[in-house]
Amino acid sequence: MRAKYVNPFTDFGFKKIFGEEASKPMLMDFLNALLPEENRIVELTFKTPEQLGRREFERKAVFDIYCENERGQKFIVELQKAKQNYFVERTIYYSTFPIREQAEKGNWNYNLEAVYCIGILDFTFGDYTSEAERHEVVHTVKLKNQHGEIFYDKLTYIYLEMPNFKKEEHELVTRLDQWLFFIKNLEDFQSIPHIFRDSVFTQAFEKAELAKLDNAEMDSYEYSLKVFRDNKAVWDYALETATAEARTIALEEGKAEGIAAGKAEGIAVGKAEGRAEGFMEGKLEVARELFAKGIPLDVLVQTTGFSSEEIQGIIT
């Protein structure tokens, strides 16, 4: 079935829905669904996404979306399509640019406005500290001290693990649920679900409709979609290969452990059986000696625990 809407995990699709001037209502609504009520955004201003280092040798940063609200708070919104080395470090590095740009010339008291770095991840972290964390969608990170208390509350990292979002339409409760369902399933929709009938989502679907793209936009989208699919194919192959290798290693290790355990169990069983046989031989020898000394058969039965038939077999 031919897609009706853009894939929001492509660079083009993501920026079409959230990164254009006409997309401000959608971006504000999405950010407000993530933030506490007291941090609600009333107005947004897009800022240049390309940040240059202060000196020539410093590495620059190019954000997917960079904006500022009416209070001067900064928001970086990044779409991460495949897991990369040091992607967390990358978001931390990116957060230094909106912090440094607040430095004023002359006398300045270092009072900073809040900075939020939001990552929409089309993968999971993979390394978790608890089983509960393994299934969480939203990971909010702040700077804390050794007692787990927030040391600085103006720097926040929010990571959304999209593969962990598994709710169906009838299970959606919050506004954030609606946005995550929209992002994850947009490319598969053929019509607008009833739950998205409000004005903000109506605009989002209009922005995302492929039929409304002009020729230049369609060319850009198709190229962006090709890059997304190529990257996904590479990632899936790497994951499949790594999984197969892990299974092979686990199988070999399991075999080795099984052989070692089998040997150990065999030795233990052998020792036990040897002890049992030795004990039995000792009792048999005692029975023979007692019978040779004239001890009656009924006394031997009571003493050794053998039946009269077994003792008859011993002495004959």
Residues 221-259: tens digit of each pLDDT = 999 999 888 877 776 666 677 666 656 765 666 666 656
For residue 244, give the H/E element and its range: helix 215-292
Q: Indicate the residue type of 189.
A: F
For the CA atoms of 258, 261, 266, 271, what is the dihedral angle to 10 degrees? 180
Residues 145-173: tens digit of each pLDDT = 999 999 999 999 999 999 999 999 999 99
Q: CA–CA distance from 270 to each of 123, 263, 264, 280 (Å)?
A: 52, 10, 10, 15
Cβ neighbours for 160, distance < 8 A, ≥ 6 positions apart? 118, 119, 120, 121, 137, 138, 139, 180
For residue 67, give the H/E element and its range: strand 65-69
pTM confidence score: 0.72
Write out the two tokens for 266: 């065999």
Cβ neighbours for 176, distance < 8 A, ≥ 6 positions apart? 33, 34, 138
Per-residue pLDDT of the chain (316 residues; tens, 9 = 90+): 789 999 999 999 999 999 999 999 999 999 999 998 888 999 999 999 887 766 554 677 889 999 999 999 999 999 998 877 788 899 999 999 999 989 877 788 899 999 999 999 999 887 776 777 888 999 999 999 999 999 999 999 999 999 999 999 999 999 999 999 999 999 999 999 999 989 999 999 999 999 999 999 999 999 999 988 887 777 666 667 766 665 676 566 666 665 665 555 555 545 555 554 555 566 666 667 766 666 766 666 665 666 666 767 766 6
How many other C-beta atoms lie within 10 A of the C-beta of residue 313?
Answer: 11
User: DSSP of 82-149, one letter per residue?
Assistant: S--TTHHHHHHHHHHHHHHTTPPSSS----PPPEEEEEEESS-----SSHHHHT-SEEEEEEE-TTS-
